[in-house]
Amino acid sequence: MTKHIFVTGGVVSSLGKGLTSASVGMLLEQSGLSVRMQKLDPYINVDPGTMSPYQHGEVYVLDDGSETDLDLGHYERFTHGPLTRDSNYTTGQIYLNVIEKERRGEFLGKTVQVIPHITNEIKSCIAAIAEDDVDVVITEIGGTVGDIESLPFMEAIRQFSLDVGKENCLYMHLTLVPYLKAAGELKTKPTQHSVGLLRQIGIQPDILICRTERSLAADDREKIASFCNVPVQHVIEEKDKDFSIYEVPLSLVENKLDSIIIKQLGLKRKPLNLEKWRDLLHRLRNPETELSIAVVGKYAEHKDAYKSIYESIDHAGMENHAQVRIGSIQSEVIERDGPERVLSGYDGVLIPGGFGERGTEGKVEAIRWARERAIPFFGICLGMQCAVIEFARNVAGLEGANSTEFDKNTSHPVIGLLDEQQNITDKGGTMRLGAMDAKVLAGSRSLDCYGSQKVSERHRHRYEFNNDYRQQLQDAGLTIAATSEDGSLVEIVEIADHPWFVAVQFHPEFKSKPTEAHPLFSGFVQAAARRTQSK
């Protein structure tokens, strides 16, 4: 029988539910259990793919091409269970499923209602990933208890334990215990209120994870335990981490969270193996070198917009015993102040993916600067497209070269719409999405990094390298380092007489893990480290 852990949040949003859920998943996996993770988001968009990064942070893409919440990035980085379309549902998707069933007449003349039809649909989405070989499903509910829009999800998870048996479900509630300066003490009342709200809905949490900036005193724990009706050992402190998010799982273990979960769900475990994790923290604490990378993007001021990029750089840093300082730079600042002023001092420049014209000229200038000064450069998706534009304009002499995304009438459309996109008008879920194989060519820098000619990487784009310019740009010195299997689509470009200039059409940042850095990120950070050392 698969066991279920439901994770809810209270008091405020942004408590790090995703990270805590992922950490719990990791601890259970490292105890020999098979774990599946899932996020249920109460908003009405069918998926986050159509949302601005300002609203929602990065859109995380899975192998199967689904565009999902960025918490799934935490899940994939911390655990190994497969994530699919079933791993992330929104209210919009749930309603869409129910409405489609209604149109097909599947409700046999009944009035279709939130309870039971919407709640049944939610429950079936949870049950869908509880396959026979899965020991534990962790389902995180987005939003904060008390939100109107999350009510059907709360009702569904309440009913779920009636359906599968109370002994098979565990409710974990994340809450905030704020420190009030004026009073000089931690305050437990918000936690009491938020658990009160949960209990009104009919959910008695089993475990409380208390996010706090100061340690909880025994009194605080006892007060929370008694007002919230949980055993005092089940009041788990999760203190803010100044150093690294990778400390979270270890601090949960110190508070015995793994043992409490295992015992309550009656699971059988192997001894917890955190060797790799401790090793990565050790490397993080004892760097042998320091370097800095500039990430030049349109949404640089938003900390979640390039989440997986920042994390992948960190992974590569840990792998290479390097402490990496990341500078988030808005590309429009480069347009205003020039690359010299903004980028001098950095050991590497990375341009991530993006959409729309704003800031693209600043990216092109940044790339020129990195190319001409032999600064390691890594372009990703739009970053690759901008690298092709820069090379076409400034090396191949194709004046006015551009992407048709930014200038429909450009004299040299070196980047154009993919053929398969020509007649697509809907915006949701219609890009070239998900994992696709690429052939990496012999003699390329990318092959040195991957060590394999066949790779699978995730995509999310509508535009591509225009093959009409392939020969001309190659003749001018651009290396086509990888293509799609059939050779038709350019996947990686490089510049051979540059210390490290690699630009990819796909998103390697979705396949990097703290304990297994992505080979291209690792190669990039190594090149940046070589540059620092040679300074």
- The set of catalytic residues is 381, 507, 509
CA distance 473 to 391: 8
Min dist. Cβ of residue 385 to ligand GLN (A): 6
Which of 154, 374, 84, 136 minimizes the C-alpha distance to 267?
136
State the Cα angle at 197 between 193 and 202, rounded to 5°: 140
> Of the candidates 74, 393, 460, 518, which one interacts with ligand GLN according to CB under 6 A?
460
The stretches of 207-306 forming alpha helices (DSSP H) are 218-228, 248-254, 257-264, 275-285
Are 86 and 128 in contact, with CB atoms under 8 Å apart? yes
What is Dmax (Cα atoms) for the chain? 76
Give the x/- contact pattern for ligand GLN in 326-365, rule: CB under 6 A: ---------------------------xxx----------
Q: Which two tokens stand for residue 481?
A: 């380092």
- For ligand GLN, which is the closer residue by CB, 390 or 405? 405
Locate 331 and state its tokens.
Answer: 């590309």
Q: Segment contacting ligand GLN (CB under 6 A): 218-226, 442-450, 459-467, 511-519?
A: 459-467
Q: Does 508 bind ligand GLN (CB under 6 A)?
A: no
Q: Which residue's C-beta sits nearest to ligand GLN? A: 353
- Contact track, ligand GLN, 153-192, x by CB under 6 A: ----------------------------------------
**Does the footprint of ligand GLN cover residue 457 (CB under 6 A)?**
no
Q: Which is nearer to ligand GLN, 342 or 381 (CB)?
A: 381
| Closest to ligand GLN by CB, 36 or 460 | 460
Site string for ligand GLN, 19-58 (x = CB under 6 A): ----------------------------------------
Identify which of 303, 308, 297 has the alpha carbon closest to the alpha carbon of residue 379: 297
SS3 137: strand
Identify which of 531, 446, 523 has the alpha carbon closest to the alpha carbon of residue 482.
446
Residue number with CB closer to ligand GLN (175 or 385): 385
State the binding string over 408-447 for ligand GLN (x if CB under 6 A, else -): ----------------------------------------
Terminal C-alpha separation, the chain: 59
To the nearest whole angstrom, how small is the minimum distance from the Cβ of residue 417 to ligand GLN? 8
Residue 149 DSSP code: G
| Contact between residue 306 and residue 299 where contact means Cβ atoms under 8 Å apart | yes
Q: 392: buried, middle or exposed (CB in 10 Å: 19+, 13-18, 0-12)? A: buried
Which of 510-522 are b and which e, b meaning 16 or more Cβ less than 10 Å from the residue's Cβ? bbbbbeebbbbbb
- Residue 222 or 304 with smaller CB distance to ligand GLN: 304
Least CB distance to ligand GLN at residue 411 (A):
20
For residue 169 the two structure tokens come to 């479900």
**List of residues 6+ apart from 97 with CB closer than 8 A:** 121
CB of 363 to ligand GLN, least distance (A): 11
The number of beta carbons lying within 10 Å of the beta carbon of residue 174 is: 27
Is residue 405 a contact point for ligand GLN (CB under 6 A)?
yes
Q: Identify the bridge partners of residue 35 per DSSP, sorted by sequence position.
A: 136
Stretch that binds ligand GLN, among 37-45, 122-130, 341-349, 380-388 (CB under 6 A): 380-388
Minimum distance from residue 401 beta carbon to ligand GLN (Å): 16
Least Å from the CB of residue 429 to ligand GLN: 14
Judged by CB under 6 A, does residue 298 bind ligand GLN? no
Among 373, 462, 470, 530, binds ligand GLN (CB under 6 A): 462
Q: Of 163, 151, 181, 67, give the one whose Cα is nearest residue 123.
A: 163
Q: Which stretch binds ligand GLN (CB under 6 A): 112-120, 123-131, 326-334, 458-466?
A: 458-466
463 is a contact residue toward ligand GLN (CB under 6 A): yes
Q: Which is nearer to ligand GLN, 389 or 396 (by Cβ)?
A: 389
- Say whether residue 461 binds ligand GLN (CB under 6 A): yes
For β-strands 235-239 and 207-212, DSSP reports them as: parallel
Task: Give CA–CA dist 307/186, Å, rounded.
Answer: 31
In what helix (H) or strand (E) does residue 317 lie, and over which residues does it extend? helix 307-319
Output 302 or 460, the one with its CB closest to ligand GLN: 460
Stretch that binds ligand GLN, among 247-255, 340-348, 377-385, 491-499 (CB under 6 A): 377-385
Q: Identify which of residues 130 and 381 has a Cβ nearer to ligand GLN in the complex.
A: 381
If the CB atoms of residues 259 and 484 are measured against ligand GLN, the closer one turns out to be 484
The least distance separating ligand GLN from the CB of residue 309, rounded to whole angstroms, comes to 11
Say how far apart CA 478 and CA 464 lie, in whole Å: 16
Determine if 382 is a binding residue for ligand GLN (CB under 6 A).
yes
- Give residues with Cβ within 8 angstroms of 393, minimum separation 6: 364, 399, 400, 401
Residues within the interface to ligand GLN (CB under 6 A): 353-355, 381-382, 385, 405, 460-463
